[in-house]
Structures are given as C-alpha cells and as structure tokens.
A and B are shown apart, each in its own frame.
Chain A
Amino acid sequence: MKLMVNGEAREIAATMLAELLAALDYEGDWLATAVNGDLVHKANRAEFQLSDGDRIEILSPMQGG
C-alpha cells in the first residue's frame, strides 16, 4: 500500500496505524498521529484501518515560541 508518511511516499505492508508505527520504528507516548488531516487518538491506532494514498503525520514535542 502506498502511503505518505510525514510528507514522504512510502510503500508499506501495514494495514493498521499502530502496525505502521511499529514497522517504521516509532515508539513512545510522546507521539501524536493524524491521518488525512484529522487526529487519530493513541487509543484508536490499533483499530485504525489505513487505505491506499492516506496521508499520515507523526509529530512529537519540539522547541517553539
């Protein structure tokens, strides 16, 4: 399945959002996820089904003003 992950085109076998995070070696409770512009809560990642062409954002705390 073709996905856009943080702006990069990726070919990923995972079908659930939680699987995607694991496949790309993302782990930690400081991460936030959004799919196609909407927040996907941490608790919902395991059941969140991904579709071809989905745009996924994986964000973490960073310096800010």
Chain B
Amino acid sequence: MLELYGTELSSRLLLGTAQYPSPAILADAVKASGTSVVTVSLRREMAGGRAGEQFWSLIRSLGARILPNTAGCLSVKEAVTTAKMAREVFGTNWIKLEVIGNHDTLQPDVFGLVEAARILCEDGFAVFPYTTDDLVVAERLLETGCKVLMPWCAPIGSALGPVNMTALRSMRGYFPGVPLIVDAGLGRPSHAATVMELGFDAVLLNTAVAKAAYPVGMARAFGKAVDAGREAFSSGMLEPREVAVPSTPMIGRAVFS
C-alpha cells in the first residue's frame, strides 16, 4: 500500500479537480477513478460570493484526502503565503508546492522551489514538491525535509506522456526508498501504466481526465492503468530480447515428412 507522510492510501492515482464540464461530472470522475487524494487550490473570492463554499462542500462530500496546491505562484513568498492560507482553510499540512519559473512552459523554478520547501518543511508542512527530473534538485529537496518527490514527465497539460524515459528510470534507480509521484504531462492511460511499470509509486493528473470527451470513463481507465502498471512492476516483467523464442514447446512436435 502507498504510504505518504505516514498516511496509507488505497489508490496510487491522485486526481486534480479543475476543468471538468460540471461539478457533477467531477464528483463522478473522482469516484470512478478510485482515487483517495484530490488536489485543490485557492483563488480570489468575489465580494459576497459563495463559489468557494459550494466547491468546498462538494469536495468534502467526496471523502478523499485533500492536497492543496500553490499553482500559479511565481515567487517563494507567494508560494509560502499560499501554503499557509491553504493550511488554515483546508485543515491539512499537506501542500503540493509549485513555484513556476516560466509562463509558457510552466516549468518549475527549481531554485525557488528548494527555498520554499525548506521554509515550509521547517514550519511543519508535508511538502509534495512539483519538480523536474533533475537528480541534484531532487537531492536538495530531500535535504530540506521533503519525504516525497513529484517530477514532471512533460509540461503541465501537454498530454505528451513521458518524454525522457532515461531520466525517469535514472531517478527511480537513484532514490529507491523515496515515494516518487509523476506529476504533470500524462495524456493517456498507457502513459500512466508506463511510468508505473518503471516503479514510480503513483501518478498525479488532471487535464487528461477533465478534458477527455467522457471524463468519467477516462478516470476509470486511468485508475485501471495505474493498477495494471503497478502490478506489472511488482510481478517482474520480462526483459526485451532481440531474437524470437518460441512459446510453444518444440519437444514432441510431430514430423510429417
């Protein structure tokens, strides 16, 4: 079973809550996926508005654990303050830490990320850093107190899937005891299965489900793919071979000429 910051989770799929066609479809997708963790954010509330209340009420009804994010934060200060505000509103010390370094690629600012992670870990947060597949950055994040790493496999929302398998394989091999969650860039269930087969502990995705033609079906498909990939990894996969090897025994084969 997956354990993150001392909490055991029944599912290895973490699901975002943004961009669904409707709140009802979001709720159905969460249930269909089997996820036990959903990500949420904080945004400005209109004067007299109730948007936040309605969404918060819906999320609480799902029974999933909450992972608030600092999406869109461009500086250490913004990310730290947003994390503290999220802790107060959502009543959890879990935070998906994003410090964005580039508007176009939404690439993490890894320097700011490490600095913000240090501040938040010292303040008692359980930090889930959205990072790249860079091993040195990963080392620094672990040094700050992060117990989980969340490398991208492609830019957020790109649906490209794992663009650098070598880097992901290397990261898995380099940090054997650290929970690694692939966050961002997954487009298809087969992408999720692929990174799970590499031995990643979980995946976090949003757009691939929310923007699918049928989000509920896609949520279910991702849930199955994550389970399949994990079970394959745990079951010892056959290494590829360059030559054919018959699967039917040759001994006892009839000879007709």
Contact = CB atoms under 8 A, between A and B. Distances in A.
Interface stretch (B47-55, B173-181, B217-225, B247-255): B47-55
Contacts of B85: 32-34, 39, 59
B44 A57 contact: yes
Interface residues of B, number: 39
Contacts of A42: 88
Nearest to B43: A62
Contacts of A26: 45, 47-48
Interface stretch (B11-19, B161-169, B193-201): B11-19
Contacts of A13: none
B88 A39 contact: yes
Interface residues of A, number: 26
Interface in B9-68: 16-20, 26, 39-45, 47-53, 55-56, 59, 68
A54 to B, nearest CB: 15
A62 B23 CA distance: 12
A60 B56 CA distance: 9
B40 A63 contact: yes
30 contacts: A6-B45, A25-B47, A26-B45, A26-B48, A28-B50, A28-B52, A30-B56, A32-B88, A34-B85, A37-B81, A38-B81, A39-B84, A39-B85, A39-B88, A42-B88, A59-B85, A60-B42, A60-B44, A60-B51, A60-B55, A61-B52, A61-B59, A63-B16, A63-B19, A64-B40, A64-B68, A65-B18, A65-B19, A65-B39, A65-B69
